[in-house]
Chain A
Amino acid sequence: MEGLTLSEAEQRYYCDLFSYCDTESTKKVASNGRVLELFRAAQLPNDVVMQIMELCGATRLGYFGRSQFYIALKLVAVAQSGLPLRVESLNTVKDLPLPRFVMSKNEQESRHTALYSSDADNPASYSGVIPPPPGRIQVKKGSVSHDAVQQRTSADQQESTSPVVSPQQSPPTSPHTWRKHNRHPSGGNNERPLAGPGPFWAPFSEAQPGSSASSDPIWSGHSPPPHQENWVSFADTPPTSALLAMHPASVQDQTTVRTVASAATTNEIRRQSSSYDDPWKITDEQRQYYVNQFKTIQPDLNGFIPGSAAKEFFTKSKLPILELSHIWELSDFDKDGALTLDEFCAAFHLVVARKNGYDLPEKLPESLMPKLIDLEDSTVGEQTGEVGYSSSPAEAPPSKSPSMPSLNQTWPELNQSSEQWETFSERSSSSQTLTQFDSNIAPADPDTAIVHPVPIRMTPSKIHMQEMELKRTGSDHANPTSPLLVKPPDLPEENKMSSSVKFTSGNTVNGYSSSDSYASDPEQIGSTVTRQRSHSGTSPDNTAPPPPPPRPHPSHSRSSSLDMNRSFSVTPGQQQAGVVAYPPAVPPRPQPSQGAGPHVHRPVDAEGLIAHTSTSPQQIPEQPNFADFSQFEAFAVSGVNKEEEDEIETHSEVLQVEKPSDSASSLRVAKADGRVEDKAPANVPTSAGKGTTPLAPPPKPIRRRLKSEDELRPEAEEHTQKTGVIAAVLASQPSIPRSVGKDKKAIQASIRRNKETNTVLARLNSELQQQLKDVLEERISLEVQLEQLRPFSHL
Chain B
Amino acid sequence: MSKFPKMNYPLYIRSIPTENELKFHYTVHTSLDVVDEKISAMGKALVDQRELYLGLLYPTEDYKVYGYVTNSKVKFVMVVDSSNTALRDNEIRSMFRKLHNSYTDIMCNPFYNPGDRINSRAFDNMVNSMMMQVC
A400 to B126, CA, bound (A): 8
Q: Could you tell me the distance in whole angstroms from the C-beta of A648 to the nearest C-beta in chain B? A: 49
Give the bracket for the number of chain B residues in contact with chain A: 20 to 34
Q: Is B93's CB within 8 Å of the partner chain A?
A: yes
In the complex, how many angstroms separate the beta carbon of A474 from the nearest chain B beta carbon?
A: 12
Q: Check if A329 sits within 8 Å of B98, measured CB to CB.
A: no
Q: Which of B80-135 contact A (CB under 8 A)?
A: 86-91, 93-94, 97-98, 101-102, 104-106, 108-112, 119-122, 125-126, 129
Across the interface, A326 reaches (CB within 8 A) one of B88, B90, B97, B121, namely B121
Q: Is A14 an interface residue (CB 8 A)?
A: no
| In the complex, A264 has a CB within 8 A of chain B | no
Name the residue of chain A whose CB is nearest to the CB of B109: A328
Are the C-beta atoms of B120 and A329 separated by less than 8 Å? yes
Query: In the complex, how many angstroms separate the beta carbon of A387 from the nearest chain B beta carbon?
Result: 15
Most chain B CB atoms below 10 A, which of A335, A394, A450: A335
A322 to B113: give the CA distance in the assembly, Å: 11
Per a CB cutoff under 8 Å, which of A362, A399, A449 touches B102? A399
- Is A491 at the interface (CB under 8 A from chain B)? no
Q: A573-610: which residues lie under 8 A (CB-CB) from chain B?
A: none
> Would you call A396 and B119 a contact (CB within 8 A)?
no
Cα separation A450 to B119 with both chains bound (whole Å): 30
Residues of B within 8 A of A362 (CB): 121, 125
Is A332 close to B, CB under 8 A?
A: yes
A400 touches B105 (CB 8 A): yes
- The 8 A CB mask of A276-310 against B (1 = contact, 0 = none) is 00000000000000000000000000000001101
B112 touches A446 (CB 8 A): no
Partner among A310, A396, A399 whose Cβ is within 8 Å of the Cβ of B129: A399
Question: By the criterion CB–CB under 8 Å, are A446 and B97 in contact?
Answer: yes
Report yes or no: B90 in contact with A449, Cβ–Cβ below 8 A.
yes
List residues 432-454 of chain A with CB under 8 A from any CB of chain B: 446, 449-450, 453
Residues of A within 8 A of B111 (CB): 311, 314, 321, 324-325, 328
Determine whether the beta carbon of A311 is less than 8 Å from that of B110. Answer: yes
Q: How long is the Cα–Cα vector from A394 to B101 in the complex, in angstroms?
A: 8
User: Are the C-beta atoms of B110 and A337 separated by less than 8 Å?
Assistant: yes
**Smallest distance from the beta carbon of A62 to chain B beta carbons, Å?**
50
B109: chain A residues at CB < 8 Å are 307, 325, 328-329, 332, 337
* Contact between A396 and B104, CB atoms less than 8 A apart: yes
**If A307-B110, A325-B120, A328-B110 touch, does A395 touch B101 (CB 8 Å cutoff)?**
yes
Taking CB as reference atom, which chain A residue is nearest B95? A446
Taking a contact as CB atoms closer than 8 A, the residue among B87, B94, B112 that contacts A449 in the complex is: B94
Q: Which residue of A lies closest to B126 (CB)?
A: A399
Whole-angstrom distance from the CB of A403 to the nearest CB of chain B? 10
> Distance in Å from the Cβ of B10 to the closest Cβ of chain A?
18
Least distance between B39 CB and chain A CB atoms (Å): 21
Residues A446 and B110 in contact in the complex (CB < 8 Å), given A329-B121, A480-B88: no
Complex Cα gap A255–B2 (Å): 36
Of the residues A310, A326, A397, A450, contact of B110 by C-beta under 8 Å: A310
Neighbouring B residues of A322 by C-beta, 8 Å: 119
Tell me, yes or no, whether A476 is within 8 Å of chain B by CB.
yes
CA–CA, A322 to B91, complex, Å?
32
Are B108 and A332 in contact, CB atoms less than 8 angstroms apart?
yes
- The yes or no answer to A398 lying at the interface (CB within 8 A) is yes
Report how far A450 CA is from B93 CA in the complex, Å: 9
A322-340 Cβ-contact flags toward B at 8 Å (1 or 0): 1011101100100111000
Question: Is A477's beta carbon under 8 Å from chain B?
Answer: yes
Note all chain B residues with C-beta closer than 8 A to A450.
Answer: 90-91, 94
Residues on A with beta carbons closer than 8 Å to the beta carbon of B125: 362, 399
State the Cβ distance, A619 to closest chain B Cβ, in Å: 46
Residues in A with CB closer than 8 Å to B86 are 476-477, 480
Q: A335-B105, A396-B105, A476-B86 are in contact. Are A308 and B121 (CB under 8 A)?
A: no
CB distance from B134 to the nearest CB of A (A): 9
Q: Residue of A at shortest CB range from B101?
A: A396
Write out the residue numbers on chain B whose beta carbons fall within 8 Å of the beta carbon of A326.
120-121
CA distance A428 to B135 in the complex (A): 34
For residue A328, which residues in chain B have a CB less than 8 angstroms away from its CB? Answer: 109-111
Q: Are the C-beta atoms of A325 and B112 separated by less than 8 Å? A: yes
Query: What residues on A are CB-neighbors of B89 within 8 Å?
Result: 453
In whole Å, how far is B98's beta carbon from the nearest beta carbon of chain A? 6
CA distance A453 to B109 in the complex (A): 34
B105 x A446 contact (CB < 8 A): no
Closest B residue, CB atoms, query A795 = B50
Could you say which residues of chain B place their CB within 8 Å of the CB of A325?
Answer: 109, 111-112, 119-120
**Are the CB atoms of B126 and A395 closer together than 8 Å?**
no
Q: How far does the Cβ of A696 sit from chain B's closest Cβ, in whole Å?
A: 31
Q: Complex Cα distance A325/B90, Å? A: 32
Contacts of A394 in B (CB 8 A): 101
Chain A, residue nearest B127 (CB)? A399
Contact B97 A329 (CB under 8 A): no
- Cα–Cα, bound, A328→B120 (Å): 10
Q: How far is the CA of A307 from the CA of B88 in the complex (A)?
A: 38
User: Smallest distance from the beta carbon of A672 to chain B beta carbons, Å?
Assistant: 28
B81 to chain A, nearest CB (A): 14
A462-492 interface bits toward B, Cβ cutoff 8 Å, 1 = contact, 0 = none? 0000000000000011011000000000000
Smallest CB–CB gap between A428 and chain B, Å? 19
Residue of chain B at shortest CB distance from A475: B86
CA distance A779 to B88 in the complex (A): 31
Closest to B107 in A: A337
CA distance A321 to B120 in the complex (A): 11
Of B106, B108, B119, most buried by chain A (CB within 10 Å of CB) is B108
Q: How far is the CB of A451 from chain B (nearest CB, A)?
A: 9
Q: Distance in Å from the Cβ of B84 to the closest Cβ of chain A?
A: 9
Taking CB as reference atom, which chain B residue is nearest A334?
A: B108
Q: Which residue of chain B has the shortest Cβ distance to A472 in the bound complex?
A: B90
Q: With both chains docked as a complex, state the minimum distance between the C-beta of A413 and any C-beta of chain B, in angstroms.
A: 27
- A795–B38 CA distance with the chains assembled, in angstroms: 18
Expressed in whole angstroms, the Cα–Cα distance for A37 and B24 within the complex equals 62
| Contacts A311-B111, A326-B120; A398 near B105 (Cβ below 8 A) | no
User: What residues of A have a CB within 8 angstroms of the CB of B98 in the complex?
Assistant: 395, 398-399, 446
Query: What residue of chain A has the Cβ atom nearest to residue B98's Cβ?
Result: A399
Hey, which chain B residues are within 8 Å of A335, CB to CB? 104-105, 108
In the assembled complex, the CB of A436 is this many whole angstroms from the nearest CB of chain B, namely 15
Cβ contacts under 8 Å, A398 to chain B: 98, 101
Q: 11 interchain pairs (CB within 8 A)?
A: A311-B111, A325-B111, A326-B120, A326-B121, A329-B106, A329-B120, A394-B101, A398-B101, A399-B125, A449-B90, A450-B94
6 closest cross-chain pairs (CB), A and B: A307-B110, A446-B94, A311-B110, A477-B86, A325-B111, A450-B90
